[in-house]
Structure 1
Amino acid sequence: MWVRSWISRRLDSGFFAQLVKELHSEDMNSYANFLRMSNKDYEYLLQKVEPLITKQDTHLRLAISPSERLMLTLRFLATGDIYHSLQYLFRIPVTTISRIIPEVCEAIFTLLKTDYLQVSNFRKTA
């Protein structure tokens, strides 16, 4: 078996499958607190990065959704939590998390840098 059994239950019992959906439908304030942004902002960001972070399903397994990839990354950025802790929360192996977070960060940076990042025009003179 190439996946631990508790990880294989991510789609049914994982944090994203359970608590996040409950927060979204029952307590938008807690949902926004968890994400550190409004649902509107989250949906905007997801819509922007989704084409760059979407993966194909295979005959061996279903791909981790763009929404779950983004939420994992935002949780990491908001909390600074370690990958091992996020593994238990999201039921995603550390090796997969270590690929997802840099990829999603790169997508966010690539798509939003021109709108939200100012580069100084300061030049160092010799």
Structure 2
Amino acid sequence: MWSRNWLQRRDHGRGVLHMLNDELLTEDNLAYTNYLRMRNEEFEILLKGIETTIMKQDTNMRCSISPKNRLQLTLRFLATGESYRSLMYATRIHETTISRIVPEVCEAIYNFLKKDYLTVSYLVFSLH
């Protein structure tokens, strides 16, 4: 067995990432923005800029964690400083996986913002 049973239920509509995408995004934009400290429009710009960099392939054993969930997890970590263990219980993603995701996504964000600073600045400011 690769993972604990409760962690494997991540893709069955349980956990905070499903609540974030399935409920807050459609029902309560202010709560969504508060949770990620970023509006959905800004999130989508950032996701589009780093998606191919942080995407992983599915395997025969399990589905990969989507770029969207990887970015959301990282933004939540950056917004709160929550421990990887605490995030594990909220997201159903094991803390060792989180410890690999966060630095990788942070590097992708940094490289994207550094490379496309003017484009990103224009897009972000035009949204406000």
TM-score (norm: length of structure 1): 0.88
Deviation at 1:15, TM superposition (A): 1.6
Per-residue Cα deviation, 1:1-56 (whole angstroms, up to 9, x for no partner): 22101100001112212343200110011111111011100000000010100000
CA distance in structure 2 between the partners assigned to 1:21 and 1:10 by the alignment: 14
Per-residue Cα deviation, 1:64-87 (whole angstroms, up to 9, x for no partner): 000000000000000000000000
Q: Identify unmatched segments of 5+ residues in structure 2.
A: 119-128
Aligned pair count reads 116
Provide the residue aligned with 1:63 in structure 2: 64
1:53 aligns with 2:54: yes
Q: Which deviates the most, 17-26 or 52-61?
A: 17-26
1:102 aligns with 2:123: no
Provide the residue aligned with 2:76 in structure 1: 75
Between the two proteins, what is the percent identity of the paired residues?
54
Provide the residue aligned with 2:4 in structure 1: 4
RMSD of equivalent CA atoms: 1.1
Q: Identify unmatched segments of 5+ residues in structure 1.
A: 117-126
CA distance in structure 2 between the partners assigned to 1:22 and 1:94 by the alignment: 25
SS of 2:65's equivalent?
Answer: coil
Q: Which has the larger radius of gyration?
A: 1
| Runs (4+) off by over 6 Å | none
Q: Which has the higher helix share?
A: 2
Letter paired with 2:57: Q
